[in-house]
């Protein structure tokens, strides 16, 4: 795909993912135009003065809850990267309707506007918390995934195609535990909810490049899942604060011991490629199942979980990954 002739819009464009995605696009792919679509005028201003002032950039104030504004913003757009969401688990639990309005109804608005405005491709960001969800955030992202996948069926003869990318925790992103541990390190004590806890981890740049790969290769209806390593949360704490005492404080409501990226039921319609898994649409009514020709089926009862993963990061490897994040934190740049 030739990005140079494309107009790209990023919902949630001022977030951690959005900023990194735009940086990579500007430096390597040079689209005709990139539209930053987000609610917060201050964050857009801060992006501008931080150097995001390329002539190809446009800044749109808007909320994905506002369907009219989305229709206006998506006129002439070729590719939408849908990254806007409420993602803080405690905030979503305490404000459930707000999470539903943004993550579910907002995604529905993005779909409708994309179909009506002739957008070619939409890639929506999802999370491991959407698999067998135990909190509202995960439940809303599961619903959003279903909306995105099934929207291919009612795009009709329109050009729009929709796919999802689902991956684990992003190291150092807003809401990540890494800045929390860096702050706690100053007191000589870090808190871990359960010493058995494991998580999938991916860097911000890896996440961005995986989304770009999905946008280039999607047919419509897929959920793309990268092969990424696991780590224990205790090892993460040791890597960040080796001299600090680790205190176990008990698992929180809505929190899992281990995360899952592909469930046993999904595995039946999933194929494996060298660097990723592709969850194909359950119903072969339209497209999105051509991956069977290039990938291999998964064995019965396959489950891609953070505690049974075959890729693991040790303390030393974790330390290398978080070194630049730690440097940004010490320089006051994190966030």
Model confidence at 177, pLDDT cuts 50, 70, 90, reads confident
State the Cα–Cα distance between residues 321 and 229, nearest whole angstrom. Answer: 12
Q: How many CA atoms lie less than 13 Å away from 138 in the CB half-sphere?
A: 18
Lowest mean pLDDT among 129-138, 298-307, 324-333: 324-333
Closest-CA residue to 247 (of 310, 184, 329, 158): 184
Model confidence at 68, pLDDT cuts 50, 70, 90, reads very high
Encode pLDDT of 38-57 as tens digits. Answer: 999 999 999 999 999 999 99
State the Cα–Cα distance between residues 45 and 96, nearest whole angstrom. Answer: 29
Selected catalytic residue, list 6, 19, 129, 238: 129
Whether 129 is catalytic is yes
Q: What is the pLDDT of residue 329?
A: 80
Question: Do residues 140 and 148 make contact, with C-beta atoms less than 8 angstroms apart?
Answer: no
Model confidence at 213, pLDDT cuts 50, 70, 90, reads very high
From residue 311, how far is each of 159, 177, 215, 237, 256 by CA, in Å? 38, 21, 26, 19, 20
State the Cα–Cα distance between residues 217 and 263, nearest whole angstrom. Answer: 23
State the Cα–Cα distance between residues 199 and 215, nearest whole angstrom. Answer: 26
Average pLDDT over residues 140-157: 92
Model confidence at 153, pLDDT cuts 50, 70, 90, reads confident
263 φ, ψ (degrees, to nearest 5): -85, 165
Closest-CA residue to 269 (of 258, 260, 280): 280
Give all domains of the chain, ordered by start, each with its CATH number. 3-168+203-227+260-305 (3.40.50.720)
Q: What is the pLDDT of residue 172?
A: 72
Residue scoring higher pLDDT (88 or 144):
144
Question: Any residues with CB less than 8 A from the CB of 219 and at least 6 apart, and which?
Answer: 161, 163, 287, 288, 290, 291
Q: What is the pLDDT of residue 289?
A: 74
Average pLDDT over residues 307-326: 93
The sign of the CA dihedral 183, 189, 192, 196 is: positive
Average pLDDT over residues 143-154: 94
Q: What is the pLDDT of residue 77?
A: 98
Q: What is the pLDDT of residue 121?
A: 97
Chain-wide mean pLDDT for the chain?
94
Question: Any residues with CB less than 8 A from the CB of 150 and at least 6 apart, and which?
Answer: none
Average pLDDT over residues 50-72: 97
Average pLDDT over residues 117-139: 97
Q: What percent of the chain has pLDDT over 70?
A: 97
Q: What is the pLDDT of residue 325?
A: 85
Question: Do residues 294 and 279 make contact, with C-beta atoms less than 8 angstroms apart?
Answer: no
Encode pLDDT of 235-294 as tens digits. Answer: 999 999 999 999 999 998 888 999 999 999 999 999 999 999 999 988 766 666 789 889
Average pLDDT over residues 17-25: 97
Model confidence at 334, pLDDT cuts 50, 70, 90, reads low
């Amino acid at each position: 795909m030739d990005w140079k002739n494309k107009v790209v819009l990023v919902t949630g464009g001022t977030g951690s993912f959005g900023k990194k995605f735009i940086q990579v696009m500007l430096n390597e792919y040079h689209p005709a135009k990139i539209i930053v679509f987000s609610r917060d005028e201050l964050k857009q201003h801060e992006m501008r003065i931080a150097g995001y002032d390329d002539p190809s950039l446009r800044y749109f104030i808007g909320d994905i809850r506002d369907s009219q504004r989305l229709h206006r913003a998506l006129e002439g757009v070729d590719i939408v990267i849908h990254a806007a969401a409420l993602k803080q688990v405690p905030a979503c639990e305490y404000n459930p309707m707000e999470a539903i309005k943004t993550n579910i109804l907002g995604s529905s608005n993005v779909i409708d506007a994309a179909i009506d405005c002739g957008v070619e491709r939409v890639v929506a960001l999802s999370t491991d918390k959407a698999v067998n969800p135990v909190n509202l955030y995960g439940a809303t992202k599961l619903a959003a995934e279903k909306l995105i996948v099934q929207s291919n069926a009612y795009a009709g003869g329109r050009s729009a195609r929709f796919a999802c990318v689902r991956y684990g925790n992003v190291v150092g992103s807003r809401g990540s535990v890494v800045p929390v541990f860096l702050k706690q390190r100053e007191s000589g004590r870090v808190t871990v909810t359960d010493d058995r806890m494991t998580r999938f981890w991916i860097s911000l740049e890896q996440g961005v490049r995986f989304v770009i790969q999905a946008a280039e290769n999607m047919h419509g209806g897929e959920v793309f899942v990268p092969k990424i390593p696991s780590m224990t949360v205790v090892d993460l704490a040791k890597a960040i604060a080796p001299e600090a005492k680790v205190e176990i404080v008990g698992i929180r409501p809505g929190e899992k011991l281990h995360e899952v990226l592909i469930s046993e039921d999904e595995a039946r319609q999933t194929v494996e490629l060298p660097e990723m898994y592709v969850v194909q649409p359950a119903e072969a009514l339209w497209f999105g199942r051509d991956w069977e020709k290039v990938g291999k089926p998964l064995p019965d009862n396959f489950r891609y979980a953070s505690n049974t993963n075959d890729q693991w990061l040790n303390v030393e490897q974790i330390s290398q990954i978080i070194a630049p994040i730690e440097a940004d934190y010490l320089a006051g740049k994190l966030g």
